[in-house]
Amino acid sequence: MSLLLDVRGLSTHYVSARGTRVTRAVDQVSFALEEGETLGIVGESGSGKTTLALSLLRLLPPAARIVAGEVRFEGDDLLRKPAAEMRRIRGKRIAMILQDPMASLNPLFTIGDQVAEPIRIHEGAGRRGAWVRARELLRAVRISAPELRVREYPHQMSGGMRQRIVGAIAISCEPRLLIADEPTTSLDVTIQAQYLNLLRDLQRAHHLAMIFITHNLGIVAKMCDRVAVMYAGRMVEGGPIRKIFNAPAHPYTKALLESIPRLGDGRARLTAIDGQPPDPANPPAGCAFHPRCPRVMDHCRQEAPPELVVGESQTARCWLAADRR
Ligand code: SF4
């Protein structure tokens, strides 16, 4: 395997219209992804997961600014690319699936037009050839009767079909990296499992690297090779899935794992993480997790921990991790 994506010290801030309020949505995040590998990015709402994904593609809203870092994709820093080149990369070499398929599909165009569009734009195919490929792609994502479906509109599809169509569009130009942002949130549980299996099959068939953004650690366990845990804009722990699940180094990761419901474990109540995530525009001093941390020490309230290596390929931003090195 070779290195596909190398993100170093990425920081993205939201700045209010008057410039008086700065929110550090993504703060000094670093991680790497090999070809064909899957990274899960987990964390509560507002932890910076989606802003991180949008920063990789430079698809941020106007109030957001990438203020530091590098996003090296196949060796080139995407943050230094001209806008026109980024347009060629998006959809062609890096594709994204959003959580709400209706936000990705245009209600006024047929399914065939929408699946064929990136093939025409990025690969220069004619209308006829692109439609033939669109039918093949719909078959690949297990849409029945694709020759009929290409002429239909998004409102004629179920939620599960729409999400599979978005998947077909994402893989239409055979990208190297697929970013899936909470892609199963709008699906019911049985369809979720089917869709995850489908993504897994597509990944194997196309040797795709994948970034899977979710708040669901069960999905991470099923889909991912590595995991990055986000809290208040920072990656507080990262490493291979087995190590993080078996021996988490950060109290937040440990609390997330303990909050997963398990059949037959006899607990009357689920374990919850006390308190609320901090206001990202006004985080607490020191370690941002300290007001909720069961192992907080005086030092934690004063100084934020650096990223510490705690084992082979595992890092954590926690003073306790220094004892595990
Ligand atoms: Fe808890 Fe301190 Fe570690 Fe933060 S640095 S997670 S407060 S022990």
Spatial strand order of the sheet with 64-73 comes to 22-34, 3-15, 64-73, 76-77
Q: What is the DSSP letter of 315?
A: E
Q: Is pLDDT of 269 > 70? A: no
Q: Which atom of ligand 1 is nearest to the CA of 294?
A: 1
- Spatial separation of the C-alpha atoms in residues 72 and 148, rounded to whole Å: 42
pLDDT for the residue 255: 92
- Indicate the range of 119-128, 182-191, 252-261, 308-317 predicted with least confidence: 182-191
Regarding the beta carbon of 318 and ligand 1, being less than 6 Å apart is answered yes
How far away, in angstroms, is 38 Cα from ligand 1 center? 28
pLDDT in the model for residue 275: 84
Of 273 and 233, the structure prediction assigns the larger pLDDT to: 233
Cα→Cα distances 247→219, 251, 258, 321, Å: 19, 11, 12, 11
CB 316 within 8 A of CB 323: no
- Ligand 1 nearest-atom number relative to CA 304: 5
CA of 71 to the centre of ligand 1 (A): 28
Per-residue pLDDT band for 325 (boundaries 50, 70, 90) equals low
Q: Whose CA is nearest to atom 3 of ligand 1?
A: 318
Q: Is 296 in the pocket of ligand 1 (CB under 6 A)?
A: yes
Asked whether 310 lines ligand 1 (CB < 6 A), one says no
232 close to ligand 1 (CB < 6 Angstrom): no
Q: How far is CA 152 from CA 114, 143, 165, 205, in A?
A: 11, 12, 12, 27
Tell how far the Cα of 305 is from the centroid of ligand 1, in angstroms: 8
Indicate whether 264 pLDDT > 70. Answer: no
pLDDT for the residue 289:
96
Rounded percentage of the chain residues whose pLDDT exceeds 90: 65
Q: What is the pLDDT of residue 179?
A: 95
Single out the residue of 31, 50, 25, 15 nearest to residue 232, CA to CA. 25
In terms of average pLDDT, the best of 96-100, 263-267, 268-272 is 96-100
Instruction: Fill in the amino acid letter for 86.
Output: M
Residues 6+ positions from 8 with CB-CB distance below 8 Å: 30, 69, 70, 72
Query: Can you give the pLDDT at residue 193?
Result: 84
| Dist CA 39 CA 30 (whole Å) | 13
Quick one: DSSP state of residue 262? -
Q: How far is the CA of 286 from the centre of ligand 1 (A)?
A: 9
> What is the helix (H) or strand (E) element at residue 207, kind and residue range?
none
How far, in Å, is the centroid of ligand 1 from the Cα of 292? Answer: 9
Determine which of 213-217, 306-310, 313-317 has the lowest per-residue pLDDT on average.
213-217
Strand partners, 235: 230
- Between 323 and 258, name the one with better pLDDT: 258
In contact, 212 and 173? CB cutoff 8 Å: no
pTM of the shown model: 0.90
Q: Distance of alpha carbon 33 from its chain centroid, rounded?
A: 12
195-211 pLDDT, tens digit each: 888 888 888 888 899 99
- Residue 242 pLDDT > 80: yes
| 268: confidence class by pLDDT, cuts 50, 70, 90 | low
pLDDT at residue number 263: 63
pLDDT of residue 265: 64
Any ligand 1 atom below 6 A from CB of 295: yes
Cα of 167 from ligand 1 centre, angstroms = 39
Q: Which residue has the higher pLDDT, 265 or 294?
A: 294
Average pLDDT over the chain, rounded to an integer: 90
What is the band of 113 on the pLDDT scale with cuts at 50, 70, 90? very high
Tens digits of residue pLDDT in 30-76: 999 999 999 999 998 889 999 999 999 999 999 999 999 999 999 99
- Could you tell me where the beta strands, DSSP code E, fall in the chain? 3-15, 22-34, 38-42, 64-73, 76-77, 94-97, 177-181, 209-214, 226-231, 234-240, 308-311, 314-316
